[in-house]
Amino acid sequence: MHYDFNSIEKKWQEYWAKNQTFKAENDSEKEKFYVLDMFPYPSGAGLHVGHPLGYIASDIYARYKRHKGFNVLHPMGYDSFGLPAEQYAIQTGQHPADTTRVNIEGGVDKEGNKIEGYRKQLDRMGFSFDWSREVRTSDPKYYKWTQWIFIQLFNSWYNKATDRAEDIESLIAVFEKEGNATVEAVCDEDTPQFSAGEWKAFSEREKQEMLLKYRLTYLAESEVNWCPALKTVLANDEIVNGVSERGGHPVVRKKMTQWSMRITAYAQRLLDGLQKVDWPQPLKDSQTNWIGRSVGAQVTFKLKDSEHEISVFTTRPDTIFGVSFMTLAPEHELVQQITTEAQRAEVEAYVEATAKRSERERMADVKTISGAFTGAYAEHPFTKEAIPVWIGDYVLAGYGTGAVMSVPCGDQRDHDFAKHFNIPIPNIFEGVDISEEAFADKENTVIANSDFLNGLSYKEATKKVIAELEKLGQGQGKVNYRLRDAVFSRQRYWGEPFPVYYDADGLPHMIEEEYLPITLPEVDKYLPTETGEPPLGNATEWAWDTEGKQVVANDKIDHKTVFPLDLNTMPGWAGSSQYFNRYMDPHNEEAIFSKEAIDYWQDVDLYIGGSEHATGHLLYSRFWQKFMFDKGLVPKDEFAKKLINQGMITGTSAFVYRMHSKITVSQKLLGEDLSKADDLYELTRKSMVKTVQLKKNQIFIPKCFFSFHEYKKWKRSNGMPEEQVKQLIEADLVLERIKSYEHLIPEEEKDFFDLDKYSISFSGDALHADVSLVDSSDELDVEAFKKWRPEYRDAEFICQNGKYIVGREVEKMSKSKYNVVNPDAICEEYGADSLRLYEMFLGPLEQSKPWNTAGITGVHGFLKKLWRLYHSGAGGAFEVSDAEPSKESWKTLHKTIKKVEEDIENFSFNTTVSTFMICVNELGAQKCTNRAILEPLAILVSPYAPHIAEELWEKLGHTESISEAPFPKFEEKYLVESSKEYPISFNGKMRFKLEMPLDLSKDEIEARVMAHIKTQEQLQGRTPKKVIVVPGKIVNIVG
């Protein structure tokens, strides 16, 4: 019986679905293990072989853990809200819910394109997902709980004293008792101070406005990143290089009233939490950078002849005596107020000029130094000297206080600025030359010319100066973060609606939890309204009736009991910030999850996904998790213990080389000086005789005819001696080329192809060919290529030895490069087990590596050999023997168990596959047919190739699925050796091997080695200086 993978895989996929083999129970005696994949956005393009890489790895681990006796939670779902579905809706008018459903479940879209659907594609690969727990973020039953968390955030504030989020009621209680003077809370910068009496005197509206300054999600007018092309705001992590991450559209700054998340309250805890999770270092680094903690001091400079003060943040308070000017961001609020009349025109012109420059321009152009003097002077806190106040666009309004104390001797930007505007550069460093560049080395700093700081190091001086500033009341130590609060509103349709309505004063109110979800309304079109409101402004039924407790038609709005609802929707990361917890109890309608479920599953043990989520999803999720931890909803304040970033699978593109069919014939340029490039064009033009049109116009030449370099390589590989290769000249290539297309030259033009009289030149280009048209030896299927696209129907191929060999290059997998490989096709041709094995075999999980379908025959051959081990009967019938296995077979098995177990624990899946191959090769050579070996082997292989393992398991006489069969136990006794083949090396170089018993002492080994004839041959009479013997490892003879 041959290995009929198609029917085997179909059979077991149906079996698993029917028997719900992988359904996880929330109450189990077994220890839990939670394996999670970052859920996919279901795009219409479907999956290519790069997508399932992480899913295969996590599935292997999940299956392995089941064999190890764990109760494994391994769910899958869809992050189904998002921009592409909405853009598609705008273009085609189809409801994004419909296209999303088709993308997941399969079907036909409106243009008649058949879509396989994510689910079917995933099922084909034999994943052990518990589909009964599937979630979709766009499902109202799911986003009910996204809205619910939003309400919890709204009703919370951050207490710095207890270092956790607390209910807003407790803040109100404090306000009523003692105002806000004593409260240590994270709040807006501009929050005024008030007493209990003042609080009580506030109107309801004033109270609510005040509370918004404290809530963990708050409505505020803030400067946002507005993307005019997408007609929405974007968060910082959605902008890459100044343009939108999706689509690459420009982004401008704009003031808008938006919901924001006070993630900054958690900055320190988000940083600290990284210490206790096992995540990749690069990922931790990028979160650390994103949070951007810096320690320094806040220093207040008084302004001369003014009641204003300038507050700055600095990490180098020790250099305060080196300050020779101050710089404010052009947008700084004090600029208008402090500018003197004499300077006003210049300052205003500068402010206007910078405002016009886009963020992108400003970032791209960091070299141009610009600024203006305000005419104002600040006063040095210690020397009381006057310090000129400048403005400059190198100071960012959004970081720190938007102002800096400029120390040109210690900061390169300040140095550049000072040089450019001829501002003095006082030196406050002992023995350092700062005439050319600033000295920013903290470690080697010795302060000078600085009054009471002279002679001190960075650390000492910093401590002392902060103490002195505190005495003056002009500063204190401060920790500053780069992290900004996250804008949470999007002006889009396809996202979670806010459970928020607005009263007559425009203040937001939460809808009571029991009326959730507030479902997305129907709209006529998915574009903004004519008045510029977000798409939800098109809805006719989008008002909240506070008495009827339901969404009603807009015309009922009276601002008394019926109010307008929020027109924004939540961003993409809202739904993905809590899904890992929801999987624990996905159908609970009473609560986000039951206490029993969260207490049992706790957190994710293994999380696998792409590194692109480093500062988005993974930071926001940690923030929400910490918030939920504070609220006592979850037992862990980090949601994932271990995280692995799988590498990208790139494509191996195939190239064909097209020669343009117009051949240029020129007069031979004899004696002309071709080195003057300026004349070359003119010369060529003048000497051109004519262009010859060949008889065909799609002519493909081999890569080696394309460039001289390739030509030499080709000659060399065909056995031409190196001396001759060196003598090859361009003319040889031209001649060889002409010979190859001779038959395409029109009869009457043949005379022009005389290289003695004329120069012949051609041009050409490299074109992508579909990788499916190329075989494992890089040979193009010429006939299939001609059928591939109509313009190539009559193409002419210049072959070598009857073959056309394509060029290869590794590129990102994409449709436009024709290098996309579909996993369905691989499953069809080789089976899912082969696909799974091959994806793992390609290389280490975390590394990016190129896909080349050709190599899959290796793992496919392995599966066939594995199958054959169990089918030693007549005509390939299934047959295993109950006889005692040989010693070698036992050894092979246990060696394999040991290595496989170690490798899986280390996520080294590629080496496991090699180990299986070695095992099967050895057992094959041993002609092993013993049940005692083959039964455990099936379990070992089962996480990687589950279908074949199930089939063999059943043939071995089992009636239950293999999925929970106990993992074979490694026993050392089978590996115990009595002797070892020692490598004998001389001066570190291995010369020969010598078999010796392992129980020999060092001296006995040395004696035996020295006595050996080959040792004497190597030494040639010399006496070794030293003999190193490492028992069980190596012998090295020095001398």
Partner RNA sequence: GCUCGAGUGGUGGAAUUGGUAGACACGUUGGACUUAAAAUCCAAUGGCCAUUAUGGCCGUACGGGUUCAAGUCCCGUCUCGAGUACCA
Crossing angle for the helix pair 931-941 and 946-955, to the nearest 10 degrees: 150
CB of 292 to RNA, least distance (A): 5
CA atoms of 393 and 413, how far apart (whole Å):
11
Nearer to RNA among residue 86 and residue 318 (C-beta) = 318
Distances 27 to 32, 65, 515, 595, 996 between C-alpha atoms, Å: 10, 17, 31, 12, 56
Nearer to RNA among residue 333 and residue 742 (C-beta) = 333
H or E, element range at 981: strand 979-986
CA atoms of 943 and 37, how far apart (whole Å):
16
CB of 281 to RNA, least distance (A): 6
Helix/strand/coil for 761: strand
Nearer to RNA among residue 149 and residue 866 (C-beta) = 866
CB of 814 to RNA, least distance (A): 14
Nearer to RNA among residue 265 and residue 597 (C-beta) = 265
Name the nearest CA neighbour of 832 among 40, 1, 8: 8
The token pair that represents 495 in the structure block: 């996202």
CB neighbourhood size of 537 (10 A): 18
Nearer to RNA among residue 855 and residue 873 (C-beta) = 855
Q: How many residues does the chain have?
A: 1039
CB of 898 to RNA, least distance (A): 8
CA atoms of 928 and 920, how far apart (whole Å):
10
Look at phi and psi of residue 534 and say left if phi exceeds 0, alpha if psi is from -120 to 50, else beta: beta
Q: Which residues pair with 165 in a beta bridge?
A: 158
Nearer to RNA among residue 127 and residue 909 (C-beta) = 909
Nearer to RNA among residue 149 and residue 235 (C-beta) = 235
Name the nearest CA neighbour of 939 among 921, 956, 914: 956
CB of 352 to RNA, least distance (A): 16
Q: Beta strand 107-108 with 114-115: parallel, antiparallel or unpaired?
A: antiparallel
CB of 253 to RNA, least distance (A): 13
Nearer to RNA among residue 752 and residue 992 (C-beta) = 992
Nearer to RNA among residue 727 and residue 1020 (C-beta) = 1020
Name the nearest CA neighbour of 996 among 1010, 988, 986: 1010
Distances 87 to 99, 309, 954 between C-alpha atoms, Å: 11, 49, 49
The token pair that represents 1030 in the structure block: 């490492």
Is residue 608 within 8 Å of 58, Cβ to Cβ? yes
CB of 403 to RNA, least distance (A): 7
DSSP secondary structure string for all residues of 79-98: ----HHHHHHHHHH---HHH
Q: Which residues pair with 260 in a beta bridge?
A: 218, 487
CB of 132 to RNA, least distance (A): 36
CA atoms of 126 and 357, how far apart (whole Å):
54
CB neighbourhood size of 477 (10 A): 16
Nearer to RNA among residue 347 and residue 536 (C-beta) = 347
CA atoms of 149 and 234, how far apart (whole Å):
21
CB of 704 to RNA, least distance (A): 15
The token pair that represents 638 in the structure block: 């980090």
Name the nearest CA neighbour of 195 among 215, 171, 175: 175
CB of 787 to RNA, least distance (A): 20
The token pair that represents 628 in the structure block: 């939920």
Say if residue 750 carries a ligand binding annotation.
no
Nearer to RNA among residue 564 and residue 858 (C-beta) = 858
CB of 868 to RNA, least distance (A): 8
Is residue 627 within 8 Å of 298, Cβ to Cβ? no
The token pair that represents 170 in the structure block: 């407790």
Nearer to RNA among residue 93 and residue 861 (C-beta) = 861
Nearer to RNA among residue 457 and residue 611 (C-beta) = 611
The token pair that represents 236 in the structure block: 């910082």
Half-sphere exposure of 392 (CA within 13 A, CB side): 26
Nearer to RNA among residue 650 and residue 697 (C-beta) = 650
DSSP secondary structure string for all residues of 588-636: -SSSSS-HHHHHHH-SEEEEEE-GGGTTTHHHHHHHHHHHHHHTTS-S-
CB of 511 to RNA, least distance (A): 36
CB of 691 to RNA, least distance (A): 38
CB of 240 to RNA, least distance (A): 6
Q: Beta strand 403-406 with 325-328: parallel, antiparallel or unpaired?
A: antiparallel
H or E, element range at 107: strand 107-108
Which 8-state DSSP code applies to residue 969?
A: P
CA atoms of 724 and 386, how far apart (whole Å):
80
Annotated binding-site members for ATP: 815
Residue numbers in the known binding site are: 815
